[in-house]
Structure 1
Amino acid sequence: MKRLLVLSTLCVLARLATADAPSADSLINGMEQTLWSDSNHGRFTMRIETQYWTRELELEAWMDRPEKTLVRIHAPRKESGIGSLRIDDAMWNYLPRVDRTIKIPPSMMLQPWMGSNFSNDDLVKESSFVDDYTHEVTGSEQRDGVLVYRVVSTPRPDAPVVWSRLEFLIREDNIPVAMTYYGERDTPVKEMIYSEIDILGGRRIPTRWTMLDADDAQSRTVIEIQSIEFDVPLEDELFTLRRLRNPE
């Protein structure tokens, strides 16, 4: 009788925990809203580290989700003015030293951006976690007194993505902890670590994003958010080839 009582109590607690747990879709959508909102404008530093050299870029970026992104380099001087523009599924890079605008084909979206561990797609967010994947909560754990959910995301059949799956660790307050990208044969290719939670733009967000290469422990790229504004009005003229070439 006692054993039956214990089992029934555990079943009730499990049902209550399931009922209270957020859905996988709400966790992914909440994470995207926390990181980017509907629009944003910010300044960032990107530090690219390898075994043999380190270089740092100063960036400014505008995002009008989900269709438009503009990223521009301000420093160092030799790379100042280089920009990347995405409109829907099209992307262009502008190289001011040769005054040339190059359209990036879909096959190049996973190539490194400026030699970093971030791909073109990572930087301009062509693919959407919400739209291109189906999601499932596969577990949870306590970390530093906060409940963290594990979400496994599988590509939809017609989604233009190459990852076999993605795995997220997302806190109950929608702040991401980590994200792992899996490639062919379901092996990890790279991992994003989110850290240094602070208040910027009126909300709590991770201000340091570290992308790690699974095959090279000494290769990483760290983005640090210097300032950011969310839900700002952005003019359509900003996201044009003319403004890509002529920022003023």
Structure 2
Amino acid sequence: MKCLWVVAFLSVFPGIALGGAPSGESLIEGMEATLWSDSNHGRFTMRIETEYWTRELDLEAWMDRPDKTLIRIHAPKKEAGIGSLRIGDAMWNYLPKVDRTLKIPPSMMLQPWMGSNFSNDDLVKESSFVDDYTHEVTGSEEQGGATTYRVVSTPRPDAPVVWSRLEFQIRDDHIPVAMTYFGERDRAIKTITYSDIDSLGGRQIPTVWTMVDADNPKSRTVIKIEAIEFDLPLDDDLFTLRRLRNPQ
């Protein structure tokens, strides 16, 4: 009888695991909702650092999850106006200097975006952590007064992803600490860390995101969130090729 009660309880509250620990799926869902919500609009700086040079981009981005993302560069001047648009599984880049719109094939989604350590997919979020992976909590520890869970995510059968697995560190308030991407032979490829938690858009979020290549720690890209709004209505006309080419 007791076993039947436990099964019934878990069917009503699937985000709670035995012992009171959250499930891996609920942690990932909470993290995605914290970082992106259903829609968002923000201003960001992206600093790309290599062993030999550093450059900084001023970005504006709109996201209407799960299907639409628009990113536009405002500075520096030589790259101002460049934009990226995703609708579903299709992505385009617009190059204003030559007035060309280029469709990005699926094979290029993991290529660096504007020479950064973030891929096209990282920026426009074509893949979905919740939909494309299964998630298991494999451990936890106390960090800075919060419980941080280790979540291992493995691809679902036939999911359109290339990573052999992902490893997350997520706090119990759904704020991410880090995520590592693994490739062939289970080799770590890159890691993103989240820091500088602050109140923006009416919620506590990490405002600095740092992506570092595993085989070249001197190559990194730092995104800083300058301002962001969540759950605002976004016009469908914003996510069109016409608006990609002409922001007015």
Q: Name the TM tier (shorter chain).
A: over 0.9
Deviation at 1:18, TM superposition (A): 3.4
1:34 match: 34
Residue number in structure 1 paired with 2:202: 202
Deviating beyond 4 angstroms after TM superposition, the runs of 4 or more aligned structure 1 residues are none
Aligned match of 2:228? 228
Aligned-partner residue type, residue 75 of structure 1: A
* Deviation for aligned residue 1:217: 1.1
Residue pairs, 1:160-175, within 5 angstroms: 160-175=160-175
Q: What residue is the counterpart of 2:63 in the other structure?
A: 63
Partner-residue secondary structure (3-state), 2:232: coil
Does residue 133 (structure 1) correspond to residue 164 (structure 2)? The answer is no
| One-letter code aligned to 1:192 | I
Deviations 1:65-88 (A, max 9, x none): 000000000000000000000000
User: In structure 2, what is the Cα distance between the partners aligned to 1:150 and 1:75?
Assistant: 37
Separation (CA, whole Å) in 2 of partners of 1:170 and 1:89 = 27
- The answer as to whether partners of 2:61 and 2:72 remain within 8 angstroms in 1 is yes
- Which residue pairs with 2:12 in the alignment? none
Q: Is the 8 A contact 2:49 2:55 kept in 1?
A: yes
Partner of 2:48: 48
- TM-score, normalising length: structure 2: 0.93
Describe the SS at the equivalent of 2:26. Answer: helix
What whole-Å deviation, never above 9, does each CA across 1:168-198 have from its counterpart, x for those lacking one? 0000000000000000000100000000000
Q: How many residues align?
A: 233
Q: What amino acid sits opposite 2:162 in the alignment?
A: V
In structure 2, C-alpha distance between the alignment counterparts of 1:182 and 1:17, rounded to whole Å: 26
| Partner Cα distance (1:215, 1:57) in 2 | 24
Is 1:149 the counterpart of 2:149? The answer is yes
- The amino acid across from 1:244 in the alignment is L
Amino acid paired to 2:196: E
State the SS of the aligned residue for 1:150: strand
C-alpha distance in 1 between matches for 2:194 and 2:18: 26
Matching residue's letter, 2:119? S
Cα displacement string for residues 10-62 of structure 1 (whole angstroms, at most 9, x for unaligned residues)? xxxxxx98331111110000000000000000000000000000000000000
Taking only the aligned residue pairs, the percentage that are identical comes to: 79
Whether the 8 Å contact between 2:17 and 2:23 is mirrored in structure 1 is no
Superposed, 1:5-20 pairs within 5 Å as: 18-20=18-20
Max Rg structure:
1
CA RMSD of aligned residues (A): 1.0
1:135-188 Cα shifts (integer Å, max 9, x gaps)? 000000001111000000000111000000000000000000000000000010
CA distance in structure 1 between the partners assigned to 2:235 and 2:138 by the alignment: 41
1:122 matches 2:122: yes
* Deviation sequence 1:77-107 (CA, Å, 0-9, x none): 0000000000000000000000000000000
Task: Name the aligned partner's letter for residue 99 of structure 1.
Answer: D
Residue 67 and residue 17 in structure 1: after superposition, are their counterparts in 2 closer, same or farther (change >3 A)?
Answer: closer
